[in-house]
Chains A and B, each alone.
Chain A
Amino acid sequence: MTYVVHRIAHSALVVAGVLVLVSLLIHLVPGDPAQLMVGDAPVSAAQLQQIRKSLGLDRPLPAQLAGDAVRFARGDLGRSLRSGRPISDTLRFALPSTLSLAVAAMAFAVLVGVPAGILASVYRGRWVDTAATAFAVVGISLPSFWTGILFIVLFAVQLGWFPTSGQGSLRALVLPALTLGWYPAGALARVLRSSMLEVMRREYVGVARAKGVRERAVVLHHALRNALLPTVTLGTIQFGALLSGAIVTETVFARDGLGRLVVEGILQKDFPVVQGVVLVIAVIYTLMNLSTDLMYAWLDPRIRYG
């Protein structure tokens, strides 16, 4: 129990640190933030002053920090400079879109990657192993913008099975989920295969076999549970990456999402958007790591805080 409390306290500390960094982010960029943000539009000095004021940049640094911390803690992330839309409102659209894509991609990765890893280790050196390895290597090597466009041309334009792009229907989620999920599926399969092979050589597996446990039970109960730890670590890291790093897939399939928000925010020098999204992504990452740690403790009762 102390382990759980400690992990949660630790996560809270990380989030507080991120809050400070995000608040200072605007000062880390060289040049006058107000001028940078206006970029291409004709502006007057009065307008620049107005922008500084609206961002609170006219106050002393500690006051800015305190103000931002209170504001963020209240859940007020400010407004986008370009669209005038409240950031929380923007996130209300982007977050579900990103979550549904990441969950679908992860489901594909687990449902395909885990069986592929197990089968490849059980039938080591046979054609199943070769096929699973080929699937994994191709998924890891191909860039998602290429597979995405390939899927669109094949399954949407030629065969007409799915819409090319957009969101709003479950059918529109299939191609982006396959595109995004292929990489983690391959990675999971590879890691699980090698840790399975390692575990299968252990003595307790031999003992289980010797006392007459059926091979199926040996693989799924004795070996898999112990081989799963590195896969869980990788899986949660992958899931975190899917949440924030789906920018290419989001762009190719014209979906809303956190990745696109933050990249477009950076390109348009829309600081409040970047701050808000970075904060949300950081919180998600922290929660992901927390859940990994807790899952470890559940999978392996020996893991305790120390």
Chain B
Amino acid sequence: MWRAWIVLMLVAVLGLPQLALSAAGPQRGGTLVYSLDGSPDRLDPNLSGLRPAQIVFFQIFDPLVVRDPKDASIKPWLATSWTVSADGKVYTFHLRPGVMFQDGTPFDAAAVKFNLDRTHNPALGTRCGGCAVGFYESTEVVDRLTVRIHLKSPWAPFLDAASLFYRMVSPAGVAKVGDQNFGQHPVGSGPFRFVEWVPNDRVVLERTPGYAWASPLFGRQGPALLDRVVFRIIPEPSTRVGALQAGEVQVTTAVSPQDFQRLAHDPKFRPIVGLAPGAPYSWAINVTKAPTDDLAVRQAMEYGINRDLIARVAYGPFQTYGAYRPAYTLLSPVTWGYDKQSEIYRYDPAKARALLDAAGWKTGPDGTRRKGDQRLVVVFNAWEHGIPELVQAELRSIGIDVHVGIYDALTVNENQRKGESNMSPLPGARTDPDILSAWLHSRNVGSGGFNFSFVKDPALDKLFDAGATEVDPARRKQIYAQAEQYAMDKAYMLPITTRDNVSLESVKVEDLRFDATGFFPWLYDTWLQP
């Protein structure tokens, strides 16, 4: 017995200094291993828009401005101040002096011009979905630290795009290895610099010494705290969680509800949840293809699904943390411009049945409704199981036969484009409500566009055009509220749940925060408990 006491005393004595240490605040040093669910394509913000690539290159490249997740305001980063012309077409940025790229070349107005021109050079084939494609005209170098960006027509989401997608690469770095190779040899001005990339395995970054231009958003200045960051590429969800449990990685993204439930209460781990603004997990409804060309059918679907139940069954464990909640309108509740008034469809199967009855859809002998010789069949595609099967079960009870198809994302999109399916999912995590115009503006019907509802509605186009050009925030908010109410009234889309970032971290990780999109970590402030 006395032996046990001695051991206990020893533990207490040895453990105390460590406790004191852990209370000492941010520590410098250590390597953070962060697991990704897919491989980056290229670490080149001018040319890539792929999420795993963004998670990595957000650490290497700084933007001109940044959105504060606390109040959604735009704060300085590489630009100290900026102005927008009255007509909304000219953005003038005053740049921070003394900023250096990691190759020792200075960041200046010419570098900004190089980046914007390169992003909008059609010969390079950028995949930046949120950039001002179609709006960008030119960049003018006013003096060494002042730059003026001209748009062809006003585009209110420009500052938002500048906070996310226009990240500054080193022109000298591009010149050294060429446009196509730069993504494997990235050089930016960010708090971490590139070390190596082993394909399909890992990307290694190290702290940029002498970094002294963090955004005021962070509340501290100087180099990052971590020595190194290793991004491990682990596509299989169970392996990602296994690697976290085995201590090989300290942060793991895209955790399954089952693993989350198992580990969220384990004292060794901590859930970190980023609530995503923008379009929730919504399904576009083809309004030109029978039977979803019938407003009554679309509205019956809106009334006929129990979103609360679907969210609980498919994503229950996430809900304690506010993630994956039922979604009733085109924007998720954390989005700037979200309008509660547009949540007009609450679960009401009786009303759904009445709407279908009134529209002439009579219940047939097999339980499926029909009108003449047409059965009420809706083709509902998705790229993952869960929600489709639940929707199928719910809509069957009101007499709609849902045919579910699960394919890879490109096939799902292709089927909807060709009009082979009635519905396909369109989530879009964005910090600006203009994302809705990508889903519902008539100019995005056909070719490579994403108006998968095939909506060509002049009233809605007018609202989106006004929203894209209105510079006054209060008026702009009102315009989007109107657009949400209008589009929900016509049941152009079927929002089902929000779609958020659910990750787990080791309790040794401190001060890991996500940006305003909820998906991109800021590792500048992050530190490790010894």
Contacts and interface: CB of A to CB of B under 8 A. Distances in A.
Interface of A: 35, 38-44, 46-47, 50-51, 79, 81-85, 90, 93-94, 97, 145, 149, 152-153, 156-157, 160, 163-168, 250-257, 260-261, 264, 267-269
Nearest to B418: A31
Given A149-B239, A164-B243, A41 B200 contact: no
Please classify how large the interface on chain B is, using the bins under 10, 10 to 19, 20 to 34, 35 or more.
35 or more
B212 to A, nearest CB: 32
A206 to B, nearest CB: 53
21 contacts: A35-B448, A40-B129, A41-B49, A41-B127, A44-B133, A51-B125, A83-B41, A84-B183, A94-B200, A149-B236, A152-B239, A157-B242, A163-B248, A165-B232, A166-B232, A168-B201, A252-B238, A252-B239, A254-B201, A255-B200, A256-B199
B246 A253 contact: no
B200 A256 contact: yes
Given A93-B198, A152-B239, A256-B201, A41 B122 contact: no
A254 B202 CA distance: 10
Contacts of B180: 79, 84
Given A165-B243, A260-B200, A267-B408, A84 B236 contact: no
A3 B207 CA distance: 62
A39 B201 contact: no
A97 to B, nearest CB: 8
B41 A46 contact: no
B284 interface: no
Given A46-B122, A165-B243, A254 B238 contact: no
Interface of B: 39, 41-42, 44, 47, 49-50, 122-123, 125-129, 133-134, 179-181, 183-184, 198-202, 232-236, 238-239, 242-243, 245-246, 248, 408-410, 413, 447-449
Contacts of A94: 199-200
Contacts of B234: 165-166, 254
A50 B125 contact: yes
A264 B410 CA distance: 12
Given A40-B413, A167-B198, 7 more contacts: A38-B125, A41-B49, A83-B41, A152-B239, A160-B246, A253-B236, A254-B233
Given A41-B448, A82-B41, A254 B242 contact: no
A163 B183 contact: no
Nearest to B408: A267
Contacts of A145: 236
B242 A152 contact: yes
Contacts of A166: 201-202, 232, 234, 248
Contact of A38 (B134, B183, B448): B448
Contacts of B50: 82
B198 A149 contact: no
Nearest to B202: A166
B410 A39 contact: yes
Contacts of A267: 408, 410
A43 B448 CA distance: 7
